Amino acid sequence: MDDPVFDLARHPVHLGLGAVVRRLPTFTGDPAWYEEYGATTAGDGREGRLVSMHTFTAPWDTWEVHPEGDELVVCVAGGMTLHQEIDGEVRTVRLRVGEAVVNPPGVWHTADVSGSATALFVTAGVGTELRPR
C-alpha cells in the first residue's frame, strides 16, 4: 500500500479516534473481512466509521441496521431507492447522483436498484445486524 492513490471500492477506509484515516485491506465482501475489520478497529468503539463505496446491479437481498450510530448514504452514480423502517412504517426515498440520506441508529434499511448504482457509505458499523428481505 505504498501508492498514495487507491480505489475506495477496493480499499475502504476507517475513520478512527484521533482523526486518523486508515486504508483497509482489499474488500472481499466476505463475512470474515467484516470480522477482521471489527477486531482491528474495536478500540475506536462506536466513534469509528467505515467509509466504503459499492456498486449495485440488483436489489439488496437483506435489510440491515446499525444500532450504534448514523450511516450516511451518498449516491455517486445511477440511482437507487432506499427503504427505511421507522416505527413500524416503511419510508421510501429515491436518491439520484449527488443526493444523500441518513439512516439513523436502529433504523432497518434496504435498497432497490434498477440498472446500476454506486453509493458512498459512512457507517457506524459496531453492532450491525442483517435480516432476510
Question: In this structure, is residue 42 part of a structural domain?
Answer: yes
Quote the domain boundaries for residue 115: 13-132
Q: Would the pLDDT of 121 be above 90? A: yes
**Per-residue confidence (pLDDT) for residue 1, from 0 to 100:** 58
Q: Is residue 33 part of a domain?
A: yes
Residue 8: inside a domain: no
Residue 86 lies in a domain: yes
Report the CATH number at residue 116: 2.60.120.10
- pLDDT tens for 80-99 read 999 999 999 999 999 999 99
Instruction: Quote the number of domains for the chain.
Output: 1
pLDDT tens column, 12-31: 999 999 999 999 999 998 88
* C-alpha to C-alpha distance for 6 and 83, rounded to whole angstroms: 31
Residue 6 lies in a domain: no
Contact between 91 and 46 under an 8 Å Cβ cutoff? The reply is no
125: pLDDT confidence band, cut at 50, 70 and 90?
Answer: confident
Q: Which residues contact residue 95 at a Cβ distance below 8 angstroms, ignoring those fewer than 6 apart?
A: 73, 75, 79, 80, 81, 82, 101, 119
Q: What percent of the chain has pLDDT over 70?
A: 99
**At residue 8, does pLDDT exceed 80?**
yes
